[in-house]
Amino acid sequence: MPLFLKPIFHEKVWGGSKLQQFGYHLPDEHIGECWGISAHPNGKSEILNGPYAGQTLDQVWNDHRELFGEFPSKDFPLMAKIVDAEAPLSIHVHPDDSYAYENENGQYGKSECWYIIEAEEDAEITIGTKASSREEFEQQIKEGKFQENLRKIKVKPGDFYFIPAGTIHSIGAGIMAYETMQSSDVSYRVYDYDRKLNNNEQRTLNVSKALDVMEYSSELPNIVPQNEVIENHNCTHVVSNDFFTIVKWEISGTLNYMKPREFCLISVLEGNGKIIIDGEIFEIEKGTNFVLTSEDLDSVFEGDFTLIISYI
């Protein structure tokens, strides 16, 4: 039986209210993130169905590892969320696994991939810097010139971008993005537009740690999604690396789905229909997030919808 999950909402100074379009009831008008699938301590998804209803994903991961093919990692390895950037996110960077393990209480580092759901005209993201070394970037910070040396990219709905750990980046205003990432909540901010929290304090910057983990490359991280048609449905293979594999499915009709690994994370970004697993029918719609487990052997999708499926 798949594990259907209750979304978790995080208020952000840059957040908005567009996540309502997924059928979510938002607790605040400045919701920046919906954690759709998460076992992270800062947001544990609650299971909505079956024998584990009411438990959190991390509990089931720890107590019933057989549902995940006895996956050897101590912690659930992936997270899926939707970001609504009414204002730009901070300019920040994430550490890799080794740095996070040593400096962030054994957490994962964070490599991530973005799928652009919505983007206003001329909306842009930041990926990388033109600085070629720590010394050069640090000097640009001191001179107040580092922002003009960041790489900006205009985006449109349907675009994918891979953000490896160590890459300075930001999502700009007017963008909604679906993120698949390592299960981590570690960010080192370099700049945050001098914004203040509700208590009138400025959000913390982490420039020293950011400089420790930043990578400097003359080229942008590059992925080239590959499209193919399977059973008359469009399948886009986005990225596959040591951290995750991501596939986008645009389904219209019936798809007999063969699960590629012991467990998969699935989010419905558009449309509605159902998934039939071992003869049992489950309705799914825009905003549904769930995990297929090792027990879910025969899966059939029926309907018209767009899915993002990720796995190790």
Q: What is the pLDDT of residue 219?
A: 80
* pLDDT tens column, 253-267: 999 999 999 999 999
Q: What is the pLDDT of residue 298?
A: 85
216, with CB counted inside 10 A (0-12, 13-18, 19+), is middle
Q: What is the pLDDT of residue 180?
A: 98
Hunting for tokens 């996110």 — which residue is that? 89
Spatial separation of the C-alpha atoms in residues 175 and 87, rounded to whole Å: 9
pTM (whole model) above 0.85: yes
Spatial separation of the C-alpha atoms in residues 281 and 102, rounded to whole Å: 45
Domain limits, the chain = 1-46+77-211, 224-309
Residues in the annotated binding site for Zn(2+): 94, 112, 169
Residues in the annotated binding site: 94, 112, 169
Q: Which residues of the chain have pLDDT under 50?
A: none
Q: Are 1-46+77-211 and 224-309 in the same CATH fold?
A: yes
Spatial separation of the C-alpha atoms in residues 292 and 177, rounded to whole Å: 23
3-class SS of residue 178: strand
Active site residues: 189
Q: What is the pLDDT of residue 68?
A: 97
Identify the helix (H) or strand (E) that includes residue 33.
strand 31-37
Q: What is the pLDDT of residue 132?
A: 92
3-class SS of residue 302: strand
Q: What is the pLDDT of residue 150?
A: 95
**Could you count the other beta carbons within 10 Å of the beta carbon of residue 10?**
18
Rounded to 5°, angle at Cα 309 from 13 and 27: 30
1-46+77-211 CATH, one of 2.40.110.10, 2.60.120.10, 3.90.550.10, 1.10.10.10: 2.60.120.10
**Residue 300, beta-bridge partner list:** 256, 276
Q: What is the pLDDT of residue 29?
A: 87
248, with CB counted inside 10 A (0-12, 13-18, 19+), is buried
Asked whether 159 and 116 are in contact (CB, 8 A), the reply is: yes
Distance of CA 94 to the CA centre of its chain: 13
Pull the structure tokens for residue 273: 């229909």
135 φ, ψ (degrees, to nearest 5)? -60, -40
State whether the Cα torsion 189-193-196-201 is positive or negative: positive
Q: What is the pLDDT of residue 270?
A: 98
Architecture of domain 224-309: Sandwich (2.60)
223 φ, ψ (degrees, to nearest 5)? -130, 150
